[in-house]
Homo-oligomer: A and B are copies of this chain.
């Protein structure tokens, strides 16, 4: 049974049969995951008091109203500083629970039990949490590391294929930036299915290695945002409903690759598109309003004083930070209109 240590977080690659807590526990799940796993999970918790709370599933829940409803419920349960929140669900659940537990009495512990591939390889590790605004994704949030993360591929058996593939988009992202041999392995969906534990472990290890060196994203950690600068705008333009996060990242990577091709002569966008299509991920985004798409870039968290920091691949397995001129970005975006 493998475990990774990351700052104050322990990432366990198993699900415990029994979870004990000295203080009260509040398990937060969503309307999709709760019917499948909540009851069974609650029965495994041994604590003075156990409460549960169900969020509406979907990215739209990452808003101030849902956050404060959850916080008010926690207050009504009289959780104290020894209490524990547990996120049982996808990235939306762990993002909200990470933020709520970070704000509750200025911070109580939380555990994350990610039930989607996306949350397993991405949201549950690294401590970023937050909610969305009309102006963009995750613009309101904090860093709050879960004290424990439990990762089990068992949950993936009930995951719709579309969501599984969207999760793989983040694995592909890691492979493009950091690991060309992982990129090659991913070309066989058969191999991926059979070795999903290894794929998850590999992807998380790569992420943990980065986060360990730069938790607060002073520099290095920004590399994990490859595909996300464009991806966030795509998600937002689709009202967080039209595309899953991984699908938006998929199209965002293709756009970033087009910019890389212009900026540094990156020549493997075709291979990337092929791999993404293997998993039925969308690879072309049609920009409706070029100027508003362009303007939205300047609200990205990686933008400072109107300089946008892009993460651009140089070749499969390596990347660079780049600050292309506004005109060069615009030129590339015109191909997507």
Contact = CB atoms under 8 A, between A and B. Distances in A.
Contact of A303 (B80, B299, B304): B80
A32 interface: no
A22 B133 contact: no
Interface stretch (A4-12, A84-92, A97-105, A160-168): A97-105
A106 B130 contact: yes
Interface in A297-323: 298-299, 301, 303-305
Interface in A113-140: 128, 130, 133-136, 138-140
Contacts of A304: 23, 80-82
Given A304-B81, A305-B80, A75 B106 contact: no
Interface stretch (A64-72, A238-246, A264-272, A328-336): A64-72
Interface in A25-75: 48, 64, 68, 71-72, 75
A78 interface: yes
Interface string A276-307: 00000000000000000000001101011100
A301 B81 contact: yes
A16 interface: no
A228 to B, nearest CB: 14
Contacts of A303: 80
A303 B72 CA distance: 18
A143 B301 contact: no
Contacts of A75: 133, 135-136, 139, 299
Contacts of A104: 139-140
A3 to B, nearest CB: 25
Contacts of A78: 298-299
B71 A133 contact: yes
Contacts of A141: 103, 105-106
A301 to B, nearest CB: 5
Contacts of A138: 106
Contact of A106 (B22, B128, B135, B298): B128
Interface of A: 22-23, 48, 64, 68, 71-72, 75-76, 78, 80-82, 102-107, 128, 130, 133-136, 138-143, 216, 298-299, 301, 303-305
25 contacts: A23-B304, A48-B305, A64-B64, A64-B68, A71-B133, A71-B140, A72-B134, A75-B133, A75-B135, A75-B139, A80-B303, A80-B304, A81-B301, A81-B304, A82-B305, A103-B140, A103-B142, A104-B139, A105-B141, A106-B128, A106-B138, A106-B141, A106-B142, A106-B143, A107-B142
Given A64-B64, A105-B141, 12 more contacts: A71-B140, A72-B133, A75-B136, A80-B303, A81-B301, A82-B304, A82-B305, A103-B142, A105-B301, A106-B143, A106-B301, A107-B142
